[in-house]
Amino acid sequence: MGSRVIWVAPGCIECFWCQQLAGEVFAHGERGTEIRGAIRLDHQTSSNSSDRSPIDVAVLSDEESNFLQFVADGCPTKVIRLEGDWSAVGVADPFEGLDFGESGNPEVRKSGSPA
């Protein structure tokens, strides 16, 4: 399996979507979102746009990585970039298995009885 890289291109508007969903990967930096050194092979925290350091798979497993495509897709400015071999990871659907009922609202139970 090849290496996987995640980096952030210029244009982050600091909406905090990625940081709230995957705080173990994304950090708030002075010039926007950065990729935490804790999940990178070079252990540097930065946008990773020039370094392109691969993810340390000993730290971030395939199961944990498969959420990142969803996070990247939800970035409003599409500046989260995934490169390398993500074929073994796939794309997770975080809503899989949830029952949204007829209203489409996950907070309303199918029986119609609010919690």
Give residues in contact with ligand SF4 (CB under 6 A).
Answer: 8, 12-18, 32-33, 75-77, 79-80
Closer CB to ligand SF4, residue 61 or residue 77? 77
Closer CB to ligand SF4, residue 41 or residue 70? 70
Closer CB to ligand SF4, residue 1 or residue 38? 38
What's the min distance (Å) between Cβ of 51 and ligand SF4?
A: 17
Angle at 71 between CA 93 and CA 85, to 5 degrees: 85
What's the min distance (Å) between Cβ of 20 and ligand SF4?
A: 9
What phi, psi does 99 have (nearest 5°)?
Answer: -100, 110
Q: What CA–CA distance (Å, rounded) separates 59 from 75? A: 23
Q: What CA–CA distance (Å, rounded) separates 97 from 111? A: 16
Closer CB to ligand SF4, residue 49 or residue 101? 49
What's the min distance (Å) between Cβ of 99 and ligand SF4?
A: 27
- Count CB neighbours of 106 within 10 A: 11
What's the min distance (Å) between Cβ of 38 and ligand SF4?
A: 17
